[in-house]
Amino acid sequence: MFKARVRHGLLIAAMLVLIGSVMTVAAPKSYRICHLAPLTGDASFQGQILVNAAKLAVDEINAKGGINGVPIEYIPVDETSSTATGIEAVRKALALNPVAVIGPNRSGTILAAEALWKDAKIPFITDGTNAQTTKKGNPYTFRIQIESTYWIPILARTAKEYYKVTKPAVIYGTNEYSKGLWDATLPALTQYGLAPVTVQTYNDGDRDFTAQLLKIKAAGADALFCYGYEAEIGIILRQRVELGMKNLLVFGERGCSSPAIEQIAGTTNIEGLVCSTTLSQGDPDPARQAFIKKYTSTFKEPLSPTHVNHYDSIYILADIIKRVGDNPEKIRTELSKLNYVGALARYQADSEGNLVHTIYTQVFQNGKWTPLIKEEYPVK
């Protein structure tokens, strides 16, 4: 009887050990985060800045032991510079089974591919400014940029009240990003009693804008709202000076503050350029200046203020994973109620998944960017 009880007890103990080993979930070897960025094509310089900023955060976190002792596995995926191949890049990123994805960067890719990550139930922290990015009811879409309907009214007000513009013209590219900005421009100008004297368009890849600029000149414009990607905007700014239009004020959205614009157009040809961004190089805030110094000393190049927010994206995801683990649904839930202070901004999720609510308007003056206005727009 005693031996039987002993055997019975040993059996129970063995079963408890077995059950415990089954119930114990082994810690993951890494937390995989994919990053969609345009690393080839016309926007590759932009993509490299996106990756630099994110990788800087990853290296800092991993150097300190990772997340609860587990490293981040950071995988950049080439979004390319076109929507068609960008969609395939989204599929490639999802096939890697990440806990979350940063990107895409381009509005066209976001709008065309967002159903893919909705079906996969993987949270994406995107860049696109097109207003429709977060208006499709996709609970897995988040945005770490400002939508166009907020950028453009601030530019219109700055043009009217600060620069006393009376005859604005508009030029924009025929891509989803630029069209989204144009869609926001007419009502914004109307709000401030302005109307465009001419509206010109161009195609991605165009390199001669003489015809459009001469029409703008002939219309007597005293300002130009200029939208598109850096490769085209830089040339437009340079050609405007070559055509004797140096005094034409230019207002642009976030991409105009990219160092690529200065490289393409030439420093003297962007003097007076006004743009809105989520970070100003001239912001005196110590945390912002510390980051700018760290980025420029690490990569030996100037940063693009509109493309470095993913430094904070990595830290946001690391903070969430530290608290709830690597379940994508739990990560999505935490993103939907985010309230986080990063190195570059304060992030608070609204009902649509927008995370950033600070806008800087700055001017390139005497060879450097100087902030004019810093504003917060309300959380919906």
pLDDT digits (tens, 9 = 90+) for 163-205: 999 999 999 999 888 898 899 999 999 999 999 999 999 998 9
Residues 220, 339, single domain; the answer is no
Residues 273, 289, single domain; the answer is no
- At 10, the pLDDT band (50, 70, 90 cuts) reads very low
pTM: 0.85
Residues 141, 152, single domain; the answer is no
Q: According to the model, what pLDDT value does residue 305 have?
A: 79
Residues 127, 174, single domain; the answer is no
Each residue of 257-273: pLDDT tens digit?
Answer: 888 899 999 999 999 99
Q: Is residue 300 part of a domain?
A: no
Closest among 117, 112, 96 to 34, alpha carbons compared: 96
Q: What is the mean pLDDT of the chain?
A: 90
Q: Is residue 6 part of a domain?
A: no
Q: According to the model, what pLDDT value does residue 130 have?
A: 83
The pLDDT of 349-364, averaged and rounded, is 91
Each residue of 82-106: pLDDT tens digit?
Answer: 888 999 999 999 999 999 999 999 8
Residues 154, 267, single domain; the answer is yes
Residues 249, 200, single domain; the answer is yes
Residues 198, 247, single domain; the answer is yes
Would you say residue 308 has pLDDT above 90?
no
Q: Is residue 289 part of a domain?
A: yes
Q: According to the model, what pLDDT value does residue 357 have?
A: 83
Q: According to the model, what pLDDT value does residue 356 have?
A: 87
Would you say residue 344 has pLDDT above 60?
yes
- 246: domain range? 148-277
Residues 162, 269, single domain; the answer is yes
The pLDDT of 218-239, averaged and rounded, is 95
Each residue of 277-292: pLDDT tens digit?
Answer: 888 888 888 988 999 9
Residues 224, 339, single domain; the answer is no
- At 23, the pLDDT band (50, 70, 90 cuts) reads very low
Number of domains in the chain: 2
Q: Is residue 11 part of a domain?
A: no
Q: According to the model, what pLDDT value does residue 13 have?
A: 45
Q: DSSP states of 181-246 as a string?
A: HHHHHHHHHHHTT---S-EEEE-TT----HHHHHHHHHTT-SEEEEES-HHHHHHHHHHHHHTT-T
Q: Is residue 9 part of a domain?
A: no
Would you say residue 11 has pLDDT above 70?
no
Q: Is residue 264 part of a domain?
A: yes
> Worst-scoring range by mean pLDDT, 123-132, 160-169, 218-227?
123-132
Q: Is residue 1 part of a domain?
A: no
